[in-house]
Amino acid sequence: DSGVTQTPKHLITATGQRVTLRCSPRSGDLSVYWYQQSLDQGLQFLIQYYNGEERAKGNILERFSAQQFPDLHSELNLSSLELGDSALYFCASGGGDQPQHFGDGTRLSIL
Amino acid sequence: AQTVTQSQPEMSVQEAETVTLSCTYDTSESDYYLFWYKQPPSRQMILVIRQEAYKQQNATENRFSVNFQKAAKSFSLKISDSQLGDAAMYFCAYTSKGANSKLTFGKGITLSVRP
């Protein structure tokens, strides 16, 4: 058990819809990272939050947004979903001088 | 920009034997971390081992060890006494030191273990 909690484990939805993925970091970790794993793009960094503030952005689409709340949990919002957004979305916490530990991921399927 | 290359898409090893997974990376930084993560069929991402670039000693975790060649920008993972549970996809990853410590991953290598 990594200590990072992601919900839900699976999401099935249709094109054009909007979904929210949730992540609770390990106790004591201030940073949350979001990654997307797809067959064609591999594992890609999306965005990082540190103690409520956006710290770094990667290959995140404009249709995607994230935030980190005062209790340090984070949400990744995906809107106007397309078939190509089907992927496994990971949240990780830690970083800096500590390794990142990953949640179990949310598998998103767009029909 | 940093890049991580895993050129072997698949490898196979006999149970109880030793296997080495290769990884090369490119960076202009002098201090950084390198990792190997394991992703079994359950799709979890499990940290296997970490190496700090400034440490000359190769990291070891039980049956897992690395061969870190900083000048050659090479970072291979050796798995000794391979077990059936080692069958998984293995990702090599790089991160800079500091606040923006995103992970950059290689494409991964699928390791199968023959009984």
Residues B83-101, mean pLDDT to the nearest whole number: 91
Residue B97 banded pLDDT, cuts 50, 70, 90 = confident
Residues of chain B positioned with their CB less than 8 A from the CB of A90: 45
* Cis amide leading into B41 (omega within 30): no
Task: Compute the distance between CA of residue B67 and CA of residue B63 in angstroms, rounded to an integer.
Answer: 13
pLDDT averaged over every residue in chain B: 95
pLDDT category of residue B51 using cuts at 50, 70 and 90: very high
What pLDDT score does A11 carry? 97
What is the tens place of the pLDDT at every residue in A68-102?
999 999 999 999 999 999 999 999 999 878 889 99
| pLDDT over threshold 80, residue B39 | yes
Residues from chain A contacting residue B108 (CB–CB below 8 Å) = 42-43
For B40, residues 6+ apart whose C-beta sits below 8 A from its C-beta are B46, B85, B87, B88, B89
Task: Tell me the pairing of strands B10-14 and B109-114.
Answer: parallel
Which two structure tokens, joined as six digits, stand for A57? 């952005």
Measured between beta carbons, which residues in chain B are less than 8 angstroms from residue A33?
102-103
Do residues B35 and B19 make contact, with C-beta atoms less than 8 angstroms apart?
A: no
Nearest CB neighbour to A99, from listed B35, B91, B105: B35
User: How do residues A3-49 score in pLDDT, each as one tens digit?
Assistant: 999 999 999 999 999 999 999 999 999 999 999 999 888 999 999 99
Cβ-based burial of B14 (10 A; exposed 0-12, middle 13-18, buried ≥19): exposed
CA nearest to A6 within chain B: B44
Q: Report the residue from A33, A88, A97 with minimal CB separation from B102.
A: A33
The verdict on a CB contact (< 8 Å) between A42 and B101 is no
